[in-house]
Every structure is written in structure tokens, then in C-alpha cells.
Structure 1
Amino acid sequence: MRSLKFRHGRSRMAALSVICLSLALALVPAGLAAQGASASTGEAWQIITPPQATLVLGRDGSLIGELGRERRINVALRSLPKYVGNAFVAVEDKRFYQHDGVDLVGVAGAIKDAVTKGNLRGASTITQLLVGNMHPDLIDRRDVSAGRKLREQQAAREMERHYNKEQILEAFLNQISFGRGAYGIEMAARQFFGKGAADLTLAEAASLASMPKSPVQYDPARYPDRNRTRRNTVLALMAEQGYITAAQSAAAQREPVRTVTTTRSPAPWVVDVVRVQAERAGIAVMQGGYRIHTTIDAALQRSTQQALSSGLDEIETRPGFRGQRCARVAADTSAAATKKAKVEACLEGAAVVLDPTTGDVRALVGGRDYARSSFNRAVDGNRQPGSSFKAFVYAQSIAQGLAANAMVADTALRIRLDNGQIYSPDNADNAFLGALTLREALTRSRNPVAVQLALAVGMDSVIALARRAGLRSPISPYPSSALGASVVQPLDFVAAYATFDNGGVAVEPRFVQHIEDRNGRTVFTPQVAPPRSAMDPRVAFIMRDMLQDVVTRGTATALRKIVPSRIPVAGKTGTTNDNTDVWFVGMTPELVTGVWLGFDKPAMISPGAVGGTLAAPIAGQIIAAAYGNRASGAWTPPPGVVPVELDRATGQPSDGTTPNERRYVEWFMAGTEPGAPVWPWSLFRLGPIGY
């Protein structure tokens, strides 16, 4: 019951007059009361289905987010423990099962309290509250006039004639607001206790029953002490009215108020993506009531978000970090923490995990904290990929006949551009290593080698390969694009890498499996693009084998230390000029994973920041979490590739003098192995190309 102490005589008399008139109206038969009021629309008494949330579900059916103007999931009263409904009856309308929609005893009691104690308390029944909440356009409960009260009472009585008590109580529990955008008992239970309403304990049910009086004042997460006090009042009323025993009431009252620590969607950026895709397909998901079945692995989604957020937090503590320290941790008064940031922004990131066979996105994170910034960097971001783009340069070189053991010089270059300027790519270590095999150059990410290859095969042919693999962003036909100078979207870039993992087939990233309406009828199923070859499967296999060396002994060894050795991993790091963007994109037999880090407005992360030390460890955490204790499959060579044991130092077949530590197996496309007819790539063996 709601009560208010009136200190001003005029206000008290006005309120008392309304209560007295309410009692008089309540005593008038329904038909006579209607004669003195404006004509009824005949709709305020009807129980309607309120707006529902559209549920966004993971591939296992678990809830990963909601859409809609009101976050509500209707539940049947019979599916709930009896004490859930009884808790609301006990505190809101103890004569609910006796009155006809208007509680004459309650109105009389309200008048008595107003006259003798100076307290004005409401006498509205659950039925009246339902009428006002369900039809606010017809019954505006902010209107304190007698006319509104008359219409409300008339509608409540009419509702009671058309529906039974169970239907009315069920509608009430599904209708009311519990604050924070949660409507109805089911969403409130999920919001505050992380469970469905059917699993509420007696104490939790009483906590929620405390809230309709004031969802803000009795919010159990924000004000647990206030909620506990009123909850115990509810429990006492339930015992007094015979719904529970005194012992049950006492036991429940001793329980602390425990709410869940977070109720955020584990996949807010995914929810945004599927909303846009559904609306483009003509499905009005914001009106609610749909179930969107996605490709997302809910557990992997959570671990991906955790790996990205914790990885960014850790990077902020490193010496030389130039941005703000934005970690949600206790205040740090150390000199490093209090030093003014050179970049007035938080370090951001994006992560994508997808199935290389189908393109199904298993996890997608568009930033470190959706509440801070909802911009989806994984889908809408455009950033330079740095050296991670080199994989497409090397793939096109192999496709045109260059073997992985071909010798290419890592040396200084002078390339005259069309505008007359000289382009001279260097390496991150400011050194040149001379002649290297193609495999070794990729493993060590030597920039001059990638540029030479791109110029030899034609940058246009590299761009065409990347386009076939799925890159939609424009790539400039300049030598610097071989080193990742043209921007890409992370989601597209990771999907393009899937071609190395699945035998050269391009895949389209997919989020939505199908959408059902509230009746379970499928109303939308995205069309699946037919398989499209992007590269020769032999090229994909050799490239993937070379990329394994990047993880095993190259620039991404930090990842190999995190991921168990039983899981094969291949991939490539990427770092842009001035240590602005850092990447790792890699693969296992079952997943392709990409991580990007940087500031939203490009700026140096820290001196010496590289993908191998910043992005690769985060990707390693994601991959390790994805597998847990599960085993991984294995990559198998396709027809048409030939293994040959070579000497790693010379790139030539091993012999009796080759030490064991230098022996390794190299893969060749049939016809390019040692002893096969010579291709016109010998120019690389003669030294660097001058321009």
C-alpha cells in the first residue's frame, strides 16, 4: 500500500475529497456509474499482449541479448512457484481474491487513515493497476481527477467480468515495470538475479514484489538495504495472510539480498549487427516478439570479450604506454598512473572468431566496453593491417610458381613512384638480412621482400586475389600496399584469411541462422552464398604451412606460449608505421581468429609496440579458451603438393652433412620442387631488384 503524509491542509483536503468521491463511485452500480461518465471506448478492460522483447539467441539457444522498445518476456503464472504471485498479492492487494475489481474495504480504510492519521494511501487494486499500466492512453494514472478514478474503476470491474483472477494476476506480473528497462517478472528476475522467474526463491520473489511501489527507491542492486527492509515487510505480510508459514517467512528474512554483478548482454555488438540485418530483410524486430537464432558461441563470446578487455587493461600498465589508463580498476596512485597521457583517449580493440568452413561468426567484439562506446570497430572500423596483409602477397607469388625455398634478398630498395618520389621500405629492426628463403622472409616479416614480390607478380594481381578472398575495401595499387598501407575492415579481413584455412574457398561472414516469430514460424533465413574459389588449394596449404612458422619461431611466438602444443596454429602479425595499429590474424583447423588494437584516432600506442607482443597474446587467450580441454583436428595436404626435406640455412635439399636442427620439410606445388623444370624466378636468386 502506498501512503503519503500531507502537511498542507489544502492539499490534504483535496486528496481526501478524491478518496471520498472514489468510495462513493465504488458504491454505485457499474451501469449507473457509467451514465455519469463520458462514453467508454470498451477497450480499457481488455487484457492485451504487451510488447515483447525480441530475443537474440546463441547457436546453443542461450540468450545473448534482447531487442525491442520494452524488454519483456511473457511467462505463464502456472509456470511460477505459487509464492511469486502471492508475494505481489500480499503487498499490493490482500483482498484480490475477494473483490470485483474495486476494493470497497480498502477505500474505506484509506478514508479512515486520511481522517484520523493524516496519511493518504492508495486503495487501488491489482486490477486497477493493471488497467492503468496496460492502457495508459485510456487510463492515465497521473491524472488525479475523479473522472479518471471513475473510468479506472469501471474498467477494472469490467475486466473482472471477462477474465478470471489467474489471468489478471498473470497479466499484471507480465506488464509492470521494474526499472532499468526491465518489464515483467521474467525480465526482472533475469535483470537482478540472473535467472528465470520460475527459479526465483521465496526471498527473491519478495524482493521483486517490493519494487512496484518505487522501482528506483527499492532497486535491490543499488539499494540492497532498502530493498531488504521492504522485502521483509512483504514476507511478514505473506505469513500474516497465510501464504507461507511464520518459519518460512523468518528464514527468508534472514537471507541477504544477492543480485547478479552484471546484466549486460555478452554480445552487444552482435545484437546491433543482427538488428540491422533483420531490418534490412524487412523484419520489424524492434516491435518485439521475434527470436533471432545466431551463429554465436555464447561461451566463446564471453571469453573473447574478457581476453580483449583484460589484454587492453594490461597493456595500459606497460612502460611507455601513451594513452589514458582506462581500466576499470581501483585508483592507482603510482607515478606511471598519474603521469599525464600523451594520447587523451582509451586504447581500443576488436576481435573476430569465425568458422572457416561456413563463415559463421562464433564471436565478435567491437571494443573494450560497449557502455563507453558502442562503435563497432570490428564491422565499421577501417584500419591499416600492416604486415598481416603480406600473406596475400606471398600467396600470389606462390600461385605464379615461386617455391617457398626460393631465395629473395632482404635489402635496401629505391623505387621511383609515378609522382617522382622515391619509396624505400625498411624493416622494423632497421637492418637488412640479405638472401633469405621465402619462408624465412615471411617468418621474420621482412618488408623489402614483400615489396619485391608484389612488384614482380604485379600489385594488381595481389589485389585481385585479396578481392576474391573477400576483402571489399579499396586497396591502392602502390608498393606500400604490399605492407598493408590500405585500410581494411577487421571482419572482412579475418574472413579473407579463412581462405588459407579451408583450402582456398571464400566465405561470407554469417551472423543469423534464422528468425522466428512469436508463434515459432520461421520468417527469415539468410541465403547462403555458393562456394567460390579464391585460390588454388595447394597455394592455401603451402601458405598455411609457412604461416605456422610465424607462430612457432617467428614474430608470433608469444601466442604459441599460450596455446597448447596439441592445437596447430598458423597466422601473421601486423604493425603499422609509428606503432599505431597492431594485429594478429591466425587460424586453427576449426577457427580463424583476428585481433586489432589501436586508438580510435590513430596515434602511437607506445614505442616499439608490435602485433607480436600486444595482439598475438590476446588472440592466444581467445584460442586457448575456445578449445579448453578439447582436441583439435589436423590439416592434411591436398593432392598436388610434394614434400621435400630441406636444409633451412640454404633452402636446398638436405644431405648427409645437414645438422638435424636445420632439417625441415618444405612443401612444393608439383612441378616446382627441386629437380623439376626451372621457372623464370631465378632472377630472385641473382640478388635484389633495382627500381
Structure 2
Amino acid sequence: MSATLTRRPAFTRAALLLLLAAGSLGAQPPQASTGEPWRIVPLTQSTVVYARDGAMLGEIGRQVRTSVSLRTIPRYVPNAFIAVEDKRFYQHNGVDVVGIAGALKDAVTGDVRGASTITQLLVGNMHPDAIDRRDRSPARKLREQKAALEMERHYNKEQILEAFLNTLDFGHGWFGIDAAARHYFGHPAAQLTLAEAASLASMPKSPVLYDPSRHPDRNRERRNTVLALMAEQGMITRAQADAAMAEPLRTAPNGGMAATAPWVLDVVRIQAERAGVPVREGGYRIVTTIDPKLQQAAVDALAEQTAAIEKRPGYRHATYAQAKAKNTSAGARETSYLQGAVVAIEPSTGEVRALVGGRDYEDSPFDRAIDAQRQPGSSFKPIVYAAAVAAGLPPNAPVGDTAIAVPLPNGQLYRPENSDDSYLGIIPLREALARSRNPVAVQLWTQLGPDSVIALARRMGIRSPIAPYPSSAIGASVVQPLDFVTAYATFANLGVAVEPRFVTKVEDRAGKVVWAPASPPPQLALDPRVAFIVRDMMRDVVDRGTATSVRKWLPARVPIAGKTGTTNDNADVWFVGVTPDLVMGAWLGFDKPKTITAGAVGGTLAAPVVAQALGRWYAGREPATWSPPAGLVTMELDRQTGLPADAATPPERRYTEYFIDGTQPGAQKFDAWSIFRHPGAR
């Protein structure tokens, strides 16, 4: 009697331990009712977003999941989970009595383990409102077993196994075997290898502890245990198990995404929802215009350049690493460290090939490329120069880089100065743009009239208000980076303006196209000859002006024009570059504007971002070429004087200039300043 009384509490404790020991697989907090706990209910799906080449960029939805049929995946995939989770899955009726007995026996010796079946795990994962697996009480375990028995009476094993695989939580917000395969191994579940299947089957015990990307050694060890169990249970041969064990564990970089593009996902989600497509409900397929190679190149270039700036001697602001260590801005709109944005578009179509809205989406999801309004500085000047050339001023026209004072409506005088605190005197218009002389741009603005320049900016696609003040000539009025970079496409397209475009099409589960945004018709914003001339003038900015740093990363075989921009207080720095294939711009600054460093300029801070990204994209790729439009006249000039070259002009000063026919030297006498007496000028 005493022996019996002594042993009974031990079995009672073991039974209680068994009842408490439910697998932690996919435990979720209670939620709204999912119905009777024995029912297999439809699972939340995600919308998958693809790059233009079909590579995955990410997923949109409350849960990242794409349910797949058991018939579409190799048999060893579900077998791996059966081997480690429920080897008698096909023998029991939802509750494994043999497993319970074994667990009770083991508990007596202190080896506590669970005895939940796949069916029980499915019940808990699919109906967390009714079967909360965080609840360790015997009552919860009994409810789970009852529901599992009922589930097996209504569904066959294949239906249960399929639902189980599609319900599993694999960490990182990735649910179901297909999402896990895509994000951990870079391909769908249908393409999983035996070793990869065993790696995923290792995770139910703890998605965190056995995460193959974060803890490869731990996952590999458990993967091999799963493979051994599969061989022991006759699911695979010993040779197959040994071969799979010998395979290295390789996970896909970047969570299986072709490029880091979280800001792109936000943009396409918003655009699709505005078009009436409920992409957050899941089940859709969005094809974007993004080039994954260029997108990743832009992300990497921005990260590398901003980190390099923070390491410069004399840099006095909080760095990204310091802010991350203190967790000071997680999820915030504004950060304390240096930020940036990058945009790249294909000028002929307006299709956005890359978009980066900041340095760290998780830390600050605010999209600086779309939602920020920043001063462009001197990168606005090409629009002013285009208005001048359109009014008849040739690129060799003499202009005065001198101290000026412009009266303002309030009676004050505006005195633009150059960043180097010097003046060059009378120089050719081309030289003034290459050297970014502020007084010249302000004089052009004043003489042309603000309305003409602002109207051109509008036609080119800049939607932000531009103040009719002379300081706007050198970029004092704020712009949206996406709009501003897109406006430069007008120079690439010989005067044709385009609108930025992100989405090619959206398909539903059946592959039916539910939304394909139409491209707006192109609009001629500028005379093709003017666009070509100004673009050619901007080539000098790179070749011998304020953006010569570009050639450190971009080879000479790639033609590029562009313009740097820096605000007076060195708070915003820009570079927008134009090649025959792309228009790409970068902005750097702080969310709360302040001086980056003394002497910060776009040519040394922002231009390297664009140059590095383009250099990586053009590696192994031949650029297109530029050809002048009809109606242009060429002439060899002296770069120093802007006059026709003669026998005394040395070779290094000779260059080919382009003129709209009738404005070249030797044509009908042309007064360069006659444009300021144009009927539309002030």
C-alpha cells in the first residue's frame, strides 16, 4: 500500500507534465474567433512583389504566407516533419496513445517530452482563440485532444498535413512551408532539396534557436538528426541521409529577396490600394519596374558612403552605429544620424529602376525619396540654363560671374555668393554651369523672369511650389527627390518629360491581370536641341567641374552628364547624373536640417553614391550612346574664351560646341543678351 501511495504522485506529476508539454510550434496570441477548433479554415495569404525580371522583392500582408498543395512539393518535405514531429501520424486518429504512454514512461525518469500529434499542433496553431498553446493547463490539453479527434473525423490525413505545413511559423513573420523555402533558401517549396527540407523540419522545436540563417551550426546539427530519423523510419535510404548530411547549409542572402527594397513595397502597396486592389488581403502578384541589381547597388552605395562620411576627421554628429546601439529611433520618422535617398529611373519610359528612402527601414520607415521636401541647391541650375538657351542664349555666351545685388520686394538686397568666395569675371555660359557660379544663375533668373523658369520646371515634372524669388535660381525652393530626379529625364529624352512609374501589373491568384496602370503619353517640355545642349554642358560638370569624383567609380566608356547641389548652410547635398540608359540622383542630409560638415558639397558627398551604384550596374554592360538631334551646328571653340579656335589655340583648350542653327559665331550677328529683351521677359 505504501509503495503504491508513494508511486502514484510520481505518475500524477508525469501525467500533468505531459498535459502541460505542448509543442511551441507557431504559438500565437489569442485573436478573433476562427470558428470551431476542429475545422480547417482558410489561411491569411500575402501578396508577393517581384522585380522586373521576376525575382522576389518582398511580400505584403498581415502574415507572409502562400499556401501550397501537398501534391506540388516533394514527398520528402512532409516526411521530414512527420519523422521529427509525429512518426505515427498515419496510424493514430488525432491523439497518439502510444506516444502518450511513452511520454509518461519517460517523465518518470525525468526525461520530459511532449506527445502532441501533428493534428493537435494544427488545432492549436490554426485556432489560437480556442486553443491557446501558451496555456499550460490540463484543461487546454484536453480541449486540444478532443478537437484533434474531431478534426480527423472530418478531414483525411493529406488535408491535415497540407494545412499543417501551410500554418507553421518559421520566424521573421514567415508562415508556411512555401514562404520559409523562399526566404531561407531562395526558391519555392516545390524546389526544396532533401537537406533543405530537413533544415526546415528542424525549426518547429524553436524557430529562433534553429534559425538556419542566424544559427547555421545549431540548425545543421538538428537537420542531421532529422535526416537520421527519416532513414531510421524508412522514409529515405541511409545513403540518401548520408549524402544530405554532407551537404553544406547555404541560406539565401537578404532573406531570399533579390534586393533590399522595403520602401518600394510601401509605394506599390499604396498605389495598388488606391487603384482598388486590396493587396494587404493577400493572394496577389505585383510586378514592379525595379531592377534588382541596380536597387541593391543603390542600397549598398548609400550605406557605404554615409558610413564613410561618419568616419571622416572632424565629423561631429551622432553616427548610425551609435544610434542603433542606443536604439534611439527605432520605427521613428526622424533620426539623429545622417540620412539619404536614392532614385534611379529609365528616362525613356519613366520606369523607376531603384528607390531607396533611407539608411535603415526598420529603424525609420519614412520614405525620404517620396515624402521629403528638400532644397536642391545648385542642382536646380540646369533648369535655369535650359530656359536661357531656349530663349536664344548660346552655350559660349559671355556671362558675368561678379558680385551683384538684387532688390527684393521688401526693400532688402539679395547678394548671392559663390561657395569658394571668389568671382571669375566674364566667362562662357558653359563654364559658369561647370563651375556652378551662383551669380550667373541668379542673373539669368532675374532677366528671364521667374515665371518662365518656373513654367519650364513644371513642364519637366516638378510639382513642388517654386517661390518666385531669385534664391530659387540656386535651389532655395524645396523639391521632392523623386520628382526632381525624374525632371532630369527631360534632358536625357531630348526634351520629352515622363512621369515616374513603379507597377507593371497586378495579378490575382488565378493569374488574371486586375490592374495594369497605363503610361501617360509623353509630353514635350523642351526643344530637343536645347535639351541636348544643356545635357552636353552638364557633361563638363563631371569631366572637369564640380563632379569630377564620379570618374573614380564610373569608367570613361560610360557617358554621363550631371549636376551637383549644395545648400548655403551645407545641410543638403545632391548629385543627379544622366547616362544614355538611366537618370540617377542622390540626396544626403539630416532629417532635421543642419550642417553636415564644414565644406560639405554634393560633388564629394553625394556624387560618389550615384557613381558607385552606376559603376556596379554598368560592370559587364555596354552603355547606349547619345546622338544630337537635327538642327544643331557644331564648331570648334577655345574653352577659355568661348570664341572659335584658331591656329594659336592649344589642343587642350579646343572642344566641340553645339549651337542651335543661327546662334553660332559667324551667323547673323547675335546679341547674347537680347534674350533679356524677349517680350516674355521682365
Offset at 1:112?
4.0
- Aligned residue type for 1:649: Q
Identify the range of structure 1 (261-270 vs 613-622) with the bigger mean alpha-carbon deviation: 261-270
Q: Does 1:545 align with 2:541?
A: no
How far residue 573 of structure 1 moved from its aligned partner, in angstroms, is 0.7
Output the CA distance in 2 between the equivalents of 1:293 and 1:647. 51
The match for 2:264 among 264, 270, 274 is 270
SS at 1:378's partner residue? coil
Match of 1:323 in 2: 317
Instruction: Give runs of aligned pairs for residues 443-522 of structure 1, distance below 5 A.
Output: 443-522=434-513
Listed one character per residue, the Cα deviations across residues 159-213 of structure 1 (whole Å, up to 9, x for unaligned) are 4345433332222111111122111122223333444334444343223212212
- Range with bigger deviation, 178-187 or 506-515: 178-187
User: Are 2:160 and 1:168 aligned?
Assistant: yes
Q: Contact 1:322–1:604 at 8 Å: present in 2 too?
A: no
Task: Give 1:74 shift.
Answer: 2.2
SS state of the match for residue 215, structure 1? coil
1:202 to 188, 191, 194: 194
Change (3 A) 1:646 1:54: same
Partners of 1:501 and 1:226 in 2: CA distance = 53
Deviation at 1:304, TM superposition (A): 1.1
User: Cα distance 1:11–1:135, how it changes in 2: closer, same or farther (>3 A)?
Assistant: farther
Structure 1 residues 256 and 546 mapped into 2: Cα distance closer, same or farther (>3 Å)? closer
Q: Distance in 2 between matches of 1:682 and 1:300?
A: 44
- Displacement of 1:228 after TM fit? 4.3
The residue that corresponds to 1:62 in the other structure is 55
5 Å matches for 1:31-180?
Answer: 44-114=37-107, 116-117=108-109, 121-142=113-134, 152-180=144-172
Report the Cα offset of residue 251 of structure 1: 5.2
- Could you tell me which of 615, 619, 630 is aligned with 1:639? 630
Q: Are positions 1:436 and 2:427 aligned together?
A: yes
The residue correspondences of 1:339-358 to structure 2 (distance < 5 A) are 345-358=336-349
1:284 matched to 2:278? The reply is yes
Distance 1:110 1:584, change over 3 A: same
Deviates more, 1:237-246 or 1:40-49: 40-49
Deviation at 1:680, TM superposition (A): 4.9
CA distance in 2 between counterparts of 1:491 and 1:41 reads 43
Query: The residue matched to 1:352 in structure 2 has which SS?
Result: strand
Q: Which residue of 1 aligns with 2:389?
A: 398
User: % of aligned pairs identical?
Assistant: 63
1:420: how far off? 1.6
Cα gap change, 1:373 to 1:132, in 2 (>3 Å) = same
Q: Secondary structure at the match of 1:72?
A: coil
The match for 1:34 is: none
Kindly indicate whether the alpha-carbon contact (under 8 Å) linking 1:475 and 1:487 is maintained by their aligned counterparts in 2.
yes
Partner of 2:27: none
**Shift in CA distance, 93/249, structure 1 to aligned 2, threshold 3 Å:** same
User: In 2, distance between residues paired with 1:640 and 1:254?
Assistant: 69
1:546-574 deviation line (CA, Å, top 9, x unaligned): 11111111111111332222221111111
Matches within 5 A, 1:227-376: 227-250=219-242, 252-253=244-245, 258-260=250-252, 262-263=254-255, 266-326=260-320, 345-376=336-367
Q: Give CA-to-partner distance per residue, 1:612-632, whole Å, 9 cap, x none.
A: 112112211122222222211
- 1:563 and 2:554 are equivalent in the alignment: yes
Amino acid at match of 2:433: L
Alignment deviations for residues 576-627 of structure 1 (CA, whole Å, 9 cap, x no partner): 1122211111111111010111122212222221111121122111222222
Secondary structure (helix, strand or coil) at the match of 1:540 reads: helix
Instruction: Provide the residue aligned with 2:580 in structure 1.
Output: 589
Amino acid at match of 2:611: G
TM-superposition CA deviations, 1:346-398 (whole Å, max 9, x none): 22111111011111000011112222222111111111111110001000011
Amino acid at match of 2:500: P
1:629 and 2:623 equivalent?
A: no
Residue 137 of structure 1 and its aligned partner are, at CA, apart by: 3.5
Aligned to 1:25: none
TM-score (norm 1): 0.87
Q: List, as ranges, runs of 4+ consecutive aligned residues in structure 1 with deviation greater than 6 Å.
A: 8-12, 17-22, 328-331
The 1-side partners of 2:91 and 2:184 are apart by 32
For the 8 Å contact 1:406–1:684, the answer to whether it is kept is no
- Indicate if the aligned counterparts of 1:643 and 1:666 stay in contact, CA closer than 8 A: yes
Name the CA distance, whole Å, in 1 between partners of 2:509 and 2:85: 31
Preserved CA contact (<8 Å) 1:499 1:534: yes
How far, CA to CA, are the matches of 2:605 and 2:576 in structure 1?
Answer: 12
Deviation at 1:474, TM superposition (A): 1.0
Name the aligned partner's letter for residue 48 of structure 1.
V
Q: Is 1:523 equivalent to 2:514 in the alignment?
A: yes
**RMSD (Å) for aligned C-alpha atoms:** 3.1
Deviation, structure 1 residue 13 = 3.6
Give the deviation of 1:250 after TM superposition: 4.8
| Deviating more after overlay: 60-69 vs 155-164 | 155-164
Task: Count residues in correspondence.
Answer: 650
Asked if 2 retains the 8 angstrom alpha-carbon contact of 1:408 and 1:684, the reply is no
Name which of structure 1's ranges 158-167 and 376-385 shifts more when overlaid on structure 2: 158-167
* Structure 2 counterpart of 1:269, one-letter code: W
Gaps of at least 5 residues in structure 1 are 1-7, 23-39, 332-343, 686-690
Local SS of the residue matching 1:585: strand
Give the aligned residue type for 2:265. Answer: V
Deviates more, 1:559-568 or 1:253-262: 253-262
Aligned-partner residue type, residue 295 of structure 2 = Q
Q: Distance in 2 between matches of 1:578 and 1:446?
A: 16
Provide the rounded CA distance (Å) in 2 between the counterparts of 1:377 and 1:10: 65
Partner of 1:417: 408
Do the aligned residues in 1 keep the contact of 2:393 with 2:673 (CA within 8 Å)? no
The residue matched to 1:544 in structure 2 has which SS?
Answer: helix
- The answer for the alignment partner of 1:688 in structure 2 is none
CA gap of 1:403–1:12, structure 2 versus 1, over 3 A, is farther
C-alpha deviation, 1:513, in angstroms:
0.9
Query: What is the alpha-carbon distance in structure 2 between the residues aligned to residue 595 and residue 90 of structure 1?
Result: 53
| Contact map agreement 1:235 1:249 (CA 8 A) in 2 | yes
In structure 2, relative to structure 1, the CA distance for the partners of 1:126 and 1:662 (3 Å cut) is same
Aligned residue type for 1:681 = A
Deviates more, 1:669-678 or 1:363-372: 669-678
Deviates more, 1:669-678 or 1:511-520: 669-678
User: For the residues of structure 2 that align with 1:274 and 1:68, how far apart are their CA atoms?
Assistant: 13
Do the aligned residues in 2 keep the contact of 1:387 with 1:575 (CA within 8 Å)?
Answer: yes
Residues in 2 aligned to 1:173 and 1:415: alpha-carbon distance in whole angstroms: 72
1:192 matched residue in structure 2 = 184
Aligned equivalents of 1:276 and 1:595: distance in 2? 23
